[in-house]
């Protein structure tokens, strides 16, 4: 099992570590400590986003490591995302510039459009604007023009590769057909209960790498349906883990890795951060993979309910 996947659609050869640290909902001292521990245990891929409000924390830790000679910037793969309030072409570059300043780096390895459903830029720095009724303020941007602005930041050297997050096949293909620089990466919710077979097939057909967020089924998500199942507690997952003398989490990550999907598990626990990267020295056999594949139940934990009023949202579409 390779620790890297080649980004075939990058302008120049670029290797993406197949396991990284997700940082959603982690900031301040918790986020800095998690990034520090992850780098100590060998992670070289850190996933963040402008909207997470933690790029400063990631940048502080990375800068300290580089300054003290513990790492070189070239050793790292940093992903960040453009919030959809900044999808106007003129705003894409400005948003990335602010991310680079916060991250204290001259470039990011991967720049993603966070999700396709535009939000209104009110000019106040709010990434999730809502009106007086508590509804998200939406905006319908021309995604092809947004993508052209993404291509220009690649031309400038400030992003080495570009892609998207939470996009459907229809919306990806619309960009693909008009793109000068093709998308290299799709990041989406993906776990054993939502295996995204159609999206993965599409990505493979377009030489795109898929990245799975919430690979454990987001056990820390505050709002979950009553009696909603947890992949970490699934009996089949536990049986496979017992067979290999591994944790349920390691089995879930390994299942994704063997499908050639990049995984970015989020954790602030040092024990789990270390455990999550110890997945390259065992292998699931064919029967294990078949049993885990059967667990797919199309359970989407991040449905983006607010986006259903957006003209680009199509009911029943996979993303």
Q: Is this model's pTM higher than 0.95 or not? A: yes
Residues 197-202 have a mean pLDDT of 98
52 is catalytic: yes
DSSP letters spanning 10-45: SSS--EEESB-EE-TT--HHHHHHHHHHHHHTT--E
Spatial separation of the C-alpha atoms in residues 64 and 70, rounded to whole Å: 9
pLDDT for 222? 75
Q: What is the residue-averaged pLDDT of the chain? A: 96
Spatial separation of the C-alpha atoms in residues 191 and 261, rounded to whole Å: 10
Yes or no: say if 79 and 47 are a contact pair by the CB < 8 Å rule: yes
Indicate whether 107 pLDDT > 90: yes
Per-residue confidence at 229, pLDDT binned at 50, 70, 90? confident
Spatial separation of the C-alpha atoms in residues 114 and 120, rounded to whole Å: 14
Per-residue confidence at 221, pLDDT binned at 50, 70, 90? confident
Spell out the alpha helix ranges (H) of the chain.
28-40, 55-67, 89-103, 143-155, 169-178, 197-205, 235-244, 248-257, 270-277, 286-293
pLDDT for 225? 75
pLDDT for 220? 82
Indicate whether 1 pLDDT > 80: no
Spatial separation of the C-alpha atoms in residues 204 and 161, rounded to whole Å: 17
In whole angstroms, what separates CA 299 from the centre of its chain? 18
Yes or no: say if 24 and 266 are a contact pair by the CB < 8 Å rule: yes
Indicate whether 56 pLDDT > 80: yes
Residues 132-137 have a mean pLDDT of 96
Residues 248-271 have a mean pLDDT of 98
DSSP H helix total and E strand total for the chain: 10, 10
pLDDT for 227? 81
**Each residue's pLDDT tens digit, 261-290:** 999 999 999 999 999 999 999 999 999 999
Per-residue confidence at 162, pLDDT binned at 50, 70, 90? very high
Per-residue confidence at 101, pLDDT binned at 50, 70, 90? very high
From 24, 41, 43, 52, the catalytic residue: 52
Residues 52-66 have a mean pLDDT of 98
pLDDT for 132? 94
Burial status of residue 242 (CB atoms within 10 A of its CB: 0-12, 13-18, 19 or more): exposed
pLDDT for 62? 98
Indicate whether 160 pLDDT > 90: yes
Domain 4-309, CATH homologous superfamily name and number: NADP-dependent oxidoreductase domain (3.20.20.100)
Spatial separation of the C-alpha atoms in residues 311 and 265, rounded to whole Å: 31
- Phi and psi dihedrals of 78, rounded to 5? -115, 125
Yes or no: say if 162 and 111 are a contact pair by the CB < 8 Å rule: yes
Residues 136-165 have a mean pLDDT of 98
Spatial separation of the C-alpha atoms in residues 42 and 55, rounded to whole Å: 20
**Each residue's pLDDT tens digit, 15-45:** 999 999 999 999 999 999 999 999 999 999 9
């Amino acid at each position: 099992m390779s620790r890297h996947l080649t980004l075939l659609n990058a302008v120049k050869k670029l290797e993406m570590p197949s396991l990284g640290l997700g940082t959603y909902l982690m900031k301040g001292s918790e986020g800095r400590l998690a990034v520090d521990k992850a780098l100590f245990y060998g992670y070289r891929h850190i996933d963040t986003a402008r909207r997470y409000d933690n790029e400063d924390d990631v940048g502080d830790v990375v800068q300290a490591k580089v300054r003290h000679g513990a790492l070189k910037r070239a050793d790292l793969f940093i992903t960040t995302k453009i919030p959809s309030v900044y999808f106007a072409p003129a705003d894409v570059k400005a948003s990335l510039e602010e991310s680079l300043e916060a991250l204290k780096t001259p470039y990011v390895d991967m720049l993603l459009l966070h999700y396709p459903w535009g939000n209104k830029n009110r000019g106040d720095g709010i990434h999730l604007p809502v009106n007086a009724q508590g509804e998200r303020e939406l905006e319908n941007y021309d995604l092809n023009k947004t993508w052209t602005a993404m291509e220009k930041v690649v031309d400038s050297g400030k992003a080495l590769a570009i892609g998207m997050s939470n996009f459907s096949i229809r919306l990806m293909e619309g960009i693909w057909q008009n793109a000068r620089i093709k998308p290299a990466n799709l990041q989406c919710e993906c776990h054993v209960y939502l295996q995204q077979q159609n999206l993965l097939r599409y990505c493979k057909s377009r030489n795109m790498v898929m990245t799975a967020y919430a690979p454990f089924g987001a056990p820390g998500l505050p709002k979950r349906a009553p009696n909603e199942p947890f992949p970490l507690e699934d009996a089949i997952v536990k049986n496979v883990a017992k067979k290999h003398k591994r944790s349920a989490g390691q089995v879930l990550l390994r299942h994704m890795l063997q499908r050639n999907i990049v995984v970015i598990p989020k954790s602030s626990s040092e024990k789990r951060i270390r455990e999550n990267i110890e997945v390259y020295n065992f292998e699931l056999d064919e029967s294990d993979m078949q049993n885990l594949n059967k667990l797919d139940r199309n359970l989407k934990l991040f449905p983006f309910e607010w986006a259903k009023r957006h003209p680009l949202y199509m009911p029943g579409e996979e993303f």
